[in-house]
Structures are given as structure tokens and as C-alpha cells.
A and B are shown apart, each in its own frame.
Chain A
Amino acid sequence: MRKTPLKYVFIFLVPSLIGFTVFNIVPILSSLVLAFTKWDLLTPIKFVGINNFIQMFTKDPIFWPSLGRTLLYSSMSIPLGILTSLILALAMNRPLKGIAIFRVIYFVPYVSSMIAVSMVWKWLYNDQFGLINTFLSFLGLQPQSWLSNATLVIPSLVIMDVWKGAGFGMLIYLAALQGIPEQLYEAATVDGANAFQSFFKITLPLLGPAHFYMLVTGLINGFQVFDSVYLMTQGGPGFASRVFAYNLYQSAFRQFQMGYASSMAWFLFFIIFAVTLLQFKRLGGKVEYDVI
């Protein structure tokens, strides 16, 4: 290709470069500097070297537990999300009448704002008058205090988030399912495989990239869960749902520890970076399922 006259390069690139520099590069670099400072926005900024990280890893009594809660959250939301999405996608993958309506319905929770959704879920989870407890007592089961019980609060948040995200995961799996060539199933049937064998030996393995995508995004999103926690529990009861991102928000905008919160953000970056690297490595050896 011929070199483009510089004039045109400028015209096409300048708008994005301004935005990219001002709202991406400058904040990223400033955050990196802030991570090594102590600053409450009022008194002068102070460089403290790696003290923030030492504080975070060795002294802060909240940091590791908040990370633990985040992992606990992900360890429930990822498998549950994968399972519901996969089941829905398998059912959606059949040539049934009225299938388009179901797709729209599964999307309703996904596109609704977290604030609207969490408001109704707070009401559903209500101790005395919530629909869920009403249903439980109707079945003869013990009602629970979903959001104010320290062991139930994270599972309660997980249930809501899985409910909200199922439509998204369903589409990911549906796209992957539709990419599996029909001939594979025909060949398996000719060879005498039954439906279960086809599912476990063909469908599940060939969905590998989709499973992996769900796992990676699940991990990344798990570390960033904020809106639902802020709106439903404020990290409570006590510290029971004070997950990583909420903890970061608290130290930045409640305790005004801008430097310390920035070092937490960079810790998060390294986790996400590692997970993404893993993804790239994995995609390098991507499964090919072309039929020749």
C-alpha cells in the first residue's frame, strides 16, 4: 500500500488521539504514580514508595478477606452462570416455534439497569414480606434473612447476578453451538452413538472456547462486582459482602485514601492481566473443528 499523505492521517487520527490521551493514557499514568503516594485530596500529596503495597499485603485487615469474598463470589457465580446459560442455549438451539420470543425475554434482565433490578430483588429478598420467603413458607421451608445473614448474603447476590446475566451467556453458547457442524452428529449417529454420548463427546468438548470465555469474563467481572453490592448491601452485614471493588470504592471515596486505593486498582490490573495472558495462550492452541 502507498504511504498515505500525512494530512489525512492527521484528520482521521486526531479526534481519537485526543480522547485516548486525555481519558486513557493520562489517567493510567497518573494512577500509576498515585499508587506510590498518600493523598487525601486536601493535604499535599506525599510519596511513600511501596508502603501502600506493604500496607495492603501485610497490615490491612480488610484487604485479604475482601479478596477471599470476591473469589467465593466467583466460585459460585461462574459455575452457576455456565450451567444456566448452557441449559438455555441447548434448548434455544432447537428449531422450535416462537423461539424468538424467548430470546427477547431472557434479555429483559440483562438490559435493565442494576439499580432497577436490585431494587426489586431487595423487595423479593425481604425478610417478612418478600416473595421468596413467602414461597419458601408455602413449601413448608424455613424463611431466610437473605441479605442480612452473613453466610447467605454472597449467595444471594450471586443468584441475582446469575439471573441477570443468563441471557448474555446463553447467546455466547448459542453462537458456539451453531458453529458445530451437523455432520459430526450425523457421523456419530451412524457409528451408533446415542444422544448422551454425542453430547458428552462432541458438544461439550467443542464448546471449549465458549466455556473458557465464560470462565475468563466471569473471573474479570467477579473482581469488578460493585453496583449490586453498593445498592443492596453496602458491603454488609458487617463486612460480609465487602468484596474487592466495593472495598476499593470505600477507601477512595469514603476514606479519601486516593493513593492507597490506586495501589489496590493496580493489584486488580495485575490479576486481570494474568487472566488475559492465560486466555491468549489458550487461544493460541484453539481447537479446530472443521470437517474435511
Chain B
Amino acid sequence: MNAAQTIRQNPIRKSRNYRRRQTKKAIINTISYILLITGAIISLIPFIWMISTSLKGRAEVFIYPPNFIPGTLRWDNYSSVFSTFPFFSYMRNTATVAVSVTIIQLVVSATAAYAFARLDFKGRNALFFLFLGTLMVPSQVTLIPSYIMMTDRFLALKGTLWALILPSGLGGVAFGTFMLRQFMLGIPKELEEAALIDGASPIVSFFKIILPLSKPALATLAVFTFMGSWNEFLWPLLMLERPELQTLTVGLAGLQTRWGTRWPELMAGSLVSIIPILLITLFAQRYFIRGIVVSGLKG
């Protein structure tokens, strides 16, 4: 109050204050830019180095001091990756698994979330708490029994892509249900009530009202599930042995075992394997960010 009054009464003071504040702002902004650019350089250098190495000849990699821009661009590193290792089939397997897991996860979680958010039945809260409780159980606990379950002793799915799709798609239901339920609880009940009074069944109301309104939450869950599945490593490593069925992460690890220190080819392979997920992140950024914030501060 006092300051405001002085400012109004004294125009010279005002301009000096204003100037000082502008300088301060400029300084803080400059510092911020410096920090942001440093952060960006550190974030990107490994990737730039990855690209640079992937285009070098096998001997050029061991030159000291190293050069960022290769003498001659050796695109054949990429063709040798594609010819030695069935990269396209890795990519296809990974995509098949990631898309299936995402679709299953969305269907199963959305229906369950609707039941927990809107339907009234006995034991609803107890069941929901059971779902929540399993979120606390680390994956290491279920890892061993799930492995045994997939072997020939029980489901005999080990070695097939089903072994990746079913546990992640159906087993990841607790988190998806929790997230979507929270979202659906925020949708005003009145929107549905009119339809229900007119005699619509919950199924109609789910498809016509709740699902369309839940699109942002569904998209967030989809992006997250897809990324998790795309980058999964240990489970595919345990489940897949036949090379033609492997996913990108496991295939790349195999590339490393086989090629040891053939850095140009290894870098080319790494780069190719992350391009799809980078593109998806770029386009689905909004949902991605929302997902992190939701899972982080409220979950």
C-alpha cells in the first residue's frame, strides 16, 4: 500500500524503480537462459555423439583428439545394422506389443474405472483398495511367479509375443484404473443423469458420455503405457529367445554382446531404435506432461 502510494506521488521514483526492476528482470532472464542452454547441451551431447559416431569409419572412432564431424559420412554403418540384424522385424515386434498392450490396457482400465467411479455395487470400495494396494507391490515380487507361469509348466506362452502382451496389458490394470477413475469422478454427474433417466443403460452412457469426455485422460494413459512397453527390457529379455521374435531393446542388447566395441554400428542401431519413441513424444508432448504431473503430485 505504502509503496504504491509513493510511486503514484513521485513520478521520478517510479521510473527509477521501473528501470531497476527491468534490469533485475533482464539479469534473471539471462541467468535462466544460460542454465537452460547448459542443460540442453548436456542433455543432447550424448545424442550428438551417438549420431557422430554412427557415421564414422571403424578406425576413425579411435582417433585422438576425436572429431565431432566425421571425415567421410559412412552411411553403410546403417545398412550393415539393417542387414546383420533383423531390425525391421524387431521394430515390428516392438510395435505389435506396444500397440496391443496399450489397447488392452485402455479397454480394461476404462471399463473398470467406470465401474468404480459410477456404478453402485457391494464391495466396491474394498475391491478398489485391493487394486490400489497392488500398486505398492514392486515388480520384483511378481517377476518370478510370472516367469514360472509363462513357462511350459503352466501357460506355455514363453517365447511368444503373447508373453509380453498379456501380463503388461492385463496386469497393469491397477494404475490405469486408478488414474481414469480419478478423472471420471471429476465429470459432473448431471451430464449422465439425464440420459439415465431417459432409460439409457450404463453401457450407452459409458460410450456416449463418459468415454468422449475422458479423452484427455485416455490419451495420457495411452502415451505412458506405450512408452513403458516400448522401452521395457528385463521382461522381454526373460521371455524371448528366438531372434526373429525379439523386440528392439533385447535385440540391441544382443547387438552389443555380438559386436562388442564396433561403436559405429552400435550407435547406429541405438539411434534407429529410439527414433520412433522420440517422434511420438514430440507429437504427444501435451499428454505426456499432463501424465507426469498427474502421476506425480496426485497419485
Which residues in A have some Cβ–Cβ distance to B below 8 Å? 1-4, 6, 8-9, 11-13, 15-20, 22-28, 30-31, 34, 41, 84, 87-88, 90-92, 94, 96, 99, 102-109, 111-117, 119-121, 123-124, 128-129, 131, 134, 138, 163, 166-168, 171-172, 175-176, 190, 195, 209-210, 213, 217, 220, 223-224, 226-227, 230-231, 245, 248-249, 252-253, 258, 261-262, 264-266, 268-269, 272-273, 276
Q: For the complex, count residues of B whose C-beta is within 8 A of A.
A: 95
Q: Which stretch of B80-88, B145-153, B214-222 is in the interface?
A: B145-153
B170 neighbours in A (Cβ, 8 Å): 15, 18-20, 22-23
Contact between A112 and B144, CB atoms less than 8 A apart: no
Smallest CB separation, A120 vs chain B (Å): 5
Name, among A18, A92, A131, A231, the residue most crowded by chain B CB atoms within 10 Å (CB to CB): A131
Contact between B146 and A23, CB atoms less than 8 A apart: yes
Contact between B267 and A120, CB atoms less than 8 A apart: yes
Contact between B138 and A265, CB atoms less than 8 A apart: yes
Contact between A12 and B173, CB atoms less than 8 A apart: no
Other contacts beyond A9-B119, A223-B138: 5, CB < 8 A? A94-B28, A113-B277, A231-B256, A258-B144, A269-B137
Contact between A175 and B140, CB atoms less than 8 A apart: no
Give complex CA distance A104, B131 in Å. 34
Question: In chain B, what residue has the closest Cβ to A167?
Answer: B43
Contact between A265 and B144, CB atoms less than 8 A apart: yes
Query: Chain A at the B interface: mostly helix, strand, loop or mixed?
Result: helix
Give complex CA distance A108, B177 in Å. 28
B238 neighbours in A (Cβ, 8 Å): 253
Contact between A31 and B36, CB atoms less than 8 A apart: no
Contact between A24 and B134, CB atoms less than 8 A apart: yes
B42 neighbours in A (Cβ, 8 Å): 163
B145 neighbours in A (Cβ, 8 Å): 26-28, 30-31, 34, 262
A176 neighbours in B (Cβ, 8 Å): 297
With A31-B141, A31-B144, A190-B3 as given contacts, are A12 and B114 in contact (CB-CB < 8 Å)?
yes
Residue B240 lies at the interface, judged by CB distance under 8 Å to chain A: no
B111 neighbours in A (Cβ, 8 Å): 11-13, 15-16
Smallest CB separation, B295 vs chain A (Å): 10
B146 neighbours in A (Cβ, 8 Å): 23, 27
Give complex CA distance A268, B109 in Å. 27
Residue B194 lies at the interface, judged by CB distance under 8 Å to chain A: no
Contact of A129 among B62, B144, B147 (CB under 8 A): B62
